[in-house]
Structure 1
Amino acid sequence: MITAAPPVRIGRTDLFAPRLGLGTAALGNFQQAISDEDAVAVIGQALAGGIRYLDTAPLYGHGLAEQRVGQAVPEVPRHELIISTKVGRLLREGAPPDDSQFHDGVPFYRDVPSAGPVWDFSYDGVRRSVEESLQRAGVDRFDILHLHDPDNHLAEARTTGYRALRDLRAEGTVQAIGAGMNSSRRLADLVRACDLDVVLLAGRYTLLDQTSMSDLMPLCAERGVSVVVGGVFNSGVLVNPTPGAHFNYVPADEEVLAKASAIQAVCSRHGVPLAAAAVQFPLAHPSVSTVLIGPRTVDELHTDLALFDVEIPPRLWVDLRRDGLLSDDVPTPQ
């Protein structure tokens, strides 16, 4: 079982992470509102199934995800858990709408508290963010802190934001620091500029999209920075690549659907679900410490966990390379 796999070191720290973790964006009402009870049930079942790594953020549900994590974790001794959250957004009443959190005028997060996210990568803002996240989650500490989505705030993130995280690490408040983004190029910029232990890369090292092989992944290997991979299904297109499937949180275009369908055809020839190949693929890279799954329901959780137990014949990866769907430099499971 993947939950029984030996943990791996995060960067050069003394923190060891499980190979599988639970992301909580969906549990913060991402694209669909769910109840506190249902969200906490998913986290509780994940913990009961052996998952010991939880990733959250203030943005997720405008605090709902952190609160729901806090409701579930008392069932497990704190020293057995790794919990990561993120900084760069403070939740404030009267916050102006953030265009990056809408598609076609519809917010990504539904039925959320009235306090909205306000960008703040200042030194004091980052430390305040951590304090407020601790209060929402009701935990005594976080193990990993990430600069969150600083695409348009890189100057602040790599100066005042980074210095705040660096000092929190030096004080022993947190064991590892990093950054979480969808852009591998911008994450690579932060790895070059800052002494990070880990990055959380969403959607750019998947069975469909390995653009990070041109910038971030070689740099992390060179510098000993661990990579946590999120978005392994690329918003759903690597589960069921049919018209209407999502990629990068919005409907996938024809080119993306065609490539995902071609990958699915190879998987089908080997009797392997596309989703199983998708969740197992990233862990073959030596820099990848952990894959995050993001189920919305208990049934989705059980489905995701079962995918890690699917046996994948080595020939499948060979055929993907032969068909030009994977490049030769991309590591694949043995």
Structure 2
Amino acid sequence: MLSTPLGTSTTQVTELFLGAAPLGNLFRPVSDEDAAATIDAAWAAGIRTFDTAPHYGLGLSERRLGQGLRERPREHYTLSTKVGRLLRPRARVTGDDLANGFAVPATHERVWDFSADGVRRSLEASLERLGVDRIDIAYLHDPDDHAEKTLTEAYPELERLRTEDVLGAIGVGMNQAGLLTRFVRETDIDTVLLAGRYTLLDQGGLTELLPLAAERGVGVVVGGVFNSGLLADPRPGATFDYTTASDALLSRALELQVVCERHGVPLRAAALRFPFGHPAVASVLVGARNHAEIEDAAAMLQSPVPAALWEELKALGLLAAGIPTPQGVH
């Protein structure tokens, strides 16, 4: 699988990131065996870039990812985790964490903390759960309601840690483009993780963020390329950004699927390849809860997508004429 530097940093990423949120029992349980098999399948497919966070399953995702990578040569893969939520043990365990999206016992509570001390404590805990001595990419995680503190305390602390070689690259991960644009403009970050805002159905990231990232040498990782399911399998009841898709969105996704079928291309393949039309995009991140899901994503990314498909989507108004699309057959 192709590997490329993340923006102007020296941190390398493969075209496909394995997102390990599902390995933290996102929405429903995943067995230890399935988690291990998912990581093994990703490695066999050539994926060498892995993303997790303390938030995912109250640390379960980090522990499982660390275990799955333990026997792999550390210099052969890139590992990212996130800061902004500390995990504080509960005095008593009552119930589960499904209110936050994870099918795990509620052993801890999340505490928002974008202070300098909070950043260090978060990374120290992550290093322990992952069983590694360094993080390649540290993302500021969902600072939507904490922008000023993140800019004045958390980000400068990550800069200090970068100079100390505790981490390789600094990023911000969100599902909105506006605040990410501010970080690109006002800081020296290396990367942004943009979820759901640069897909076949939503190109909100193209207005300001992607052009500015390209100008400043900030590498973009695009998550949520299926918009939580609609672009993977458009059907009644499919989800868009984790809620039931509207009739209008479903209709548009079905139109996209029809065009793809005319060119012999699965919609999933077009959805995965589309972000690479923009020069700022270095990688796409796909979550998987079993080996079949990540094997499918890797296969779809390698599927040829002819230039004629993008041309027809533009001719039909399913993509705007000025949107950059991948060149040639990939």
Q: Compute the TM-score of the two structures, normalised by the length of structure 2.
A: 0.94
Contact 1:61 1:113 in 2 (8 A): no
Superposed displacement of residue 9, structure 1? 1.6
Q: Which amino acid aligns with 1:230?
A: G
Aligned to 2:69: 73
SS at match of 1:110: strand
Shift of 1:203: 0.7
2:162–2:169 Cα contact (<8 Å) kept: yes
**What residue is the counterpart of 1:245 in the other structure?**
238
Q: State the one-letter code of the partner of 2:265.
A: V
Structure 1 residue 205 corresponds to structure 2 residue 193: no
Residue matched to 2:35: 39
Residue 317 (structure 1) aligned to one of 310, 314, 318: 310
For 1:14-163, list aligned pairs within 5 A: 14-94=10-90, 106-163=99-156
Name which of 170, 178, 202 aligns with 2:163: 170
Partner of 2:300: 307
- Contact kept? 2:7, 2:280, Cα under 8 Å: no
2:287 pairs, out of 289, 294, 302, with: 294
One-letter code of the match for 1:220? A
Distance 1:112 1:329, change over 3 A: farther
Q: How many residues align?
A: 322
1:131-181 deviation line (CA, Å, top 9, x unaligned): 000001111111000100011111111110101111111111111101000
Query: 2:172–2:191: 8 Å Cα contact kept in structure 1?
Result: yes
Query: Which runs of 5 or more structure 1 residues have no equivalent in the other structure?
Result: 96-100
Distance 1:288 1:112, change over 3 A: farther
Q: For 1:215 and 1:192, how far apart are their aligned partners in 2?
A: 10
- Partner of residue 98, structure 1: none
Separation in 2, partners of 1:111, 1:145: 24
Matched with 1:284 is 277
| Mean CA deviation greater in 35-44 or 158-167 | 35-44
CA 1:67/1:17 → structure 2, altered by over 3 Å: closer, same or farther?
A: same
Rounded to whole Å, the distance in 2 between the matches of 1:304 and 1:127 is 34
One-letter code aligned to 2:29 = A
| Aligned match of 2:94 | none
Unaligned runs of 5+ in 2: 92-96
Q: Residue 182 of structure 1 contacts residue 202 of structure 1 at CA under 8 Å; is this kept in 2? A: yes
The superposition leaves residues 214-270 of structure 1 with CA deviations (integer Å, 9 ceiling, x where unpaired) of 121111011111001111111010011111111112211222212211111211221
State the one-letter code of the partner of 2:207. S
The answer (yes or no) to whether the contact 1:64–1:112 under 8 Å persists in 2 is no
Q: Deviations over 1:292-320 (max 9, x none)?
A: 12121111122111112222221110011
**Structure 1 stretches of 4+ moved >6 Å:** none
Q: CA deviation at 1:112?
A: 4.2
Cα distance in 1 for partners of 2:23, 2:14 equals: 20
Task: Tell me, yes or no, if structure 1 residue 223 matches structure 2 residue 216.
Answer: yes
Identity of aligned residues (%): 51
- For 2:326, the equivalent position in structure 1 comes to 333
> Residues 87 and 129 of structure 1 are in contact (CA less than 8 Å); yes or no, is this contact kept in structure 2?
yes
Distance 2:236 2:109 in 1: 33
RMSD in angstroms over aligned alpha carbons?
A: 1.5
Partners in 1 of 2:242 and 2:71 — Cα distance? 32
CA contact (8 A) 1:122 1:156 kept: yes
Read off the aligned partner of 1:12 and give its amino acid letter: T
